[in-house]
Amino acid sequence: MSRASQFTLAGTFFGAIGIVVFVHASQRSEKALMHAGVIRDYEQQRVKRERQADFEMQKALEEEYRKVQTVSDGGGGPASQQDAGTK
């Protein structure tokens, strides 16, 4: 085998090995990023469930308080103040 063919063979061999290593590393990093996305989604869903539970609890408390107490809407708008002044 001539020197040129040996260099060509070696270059091709190492080039192929380099490509395989690069693709493997790229796939690993993509897999890690995808896994991190799944973990982030789980965390967002957990936070959303907590907020929904808090909202439901506050809603139940409001309903309970409305049964016990007389609640007005505040009525602090300009129309109610004018009505109060004319009476």
Residue environment code for 48-62, b if the CB has 16+ CB neighbours within 10 A, otherwise e = eeeeeeeeeeeeeee
pLDDT single digits (tens) 2-61: 999 999 999 999 999 999 999 999 999 999 999 999 999 999 999 999 999 999 999 999
pLDDT confidence of residue 46: 98
d(C-alpha 38, C-alpha 31), whole Å: 11
Q: Any idea how long the chain is?
A: 87
d(C-alpha 15, C-alpha 27), whole Å: 18
User: What does the pLDDT average to over 71-87?
Assistant: 61
Q: Which residue has the higher pLDDT, 80 or 32?
A: 32
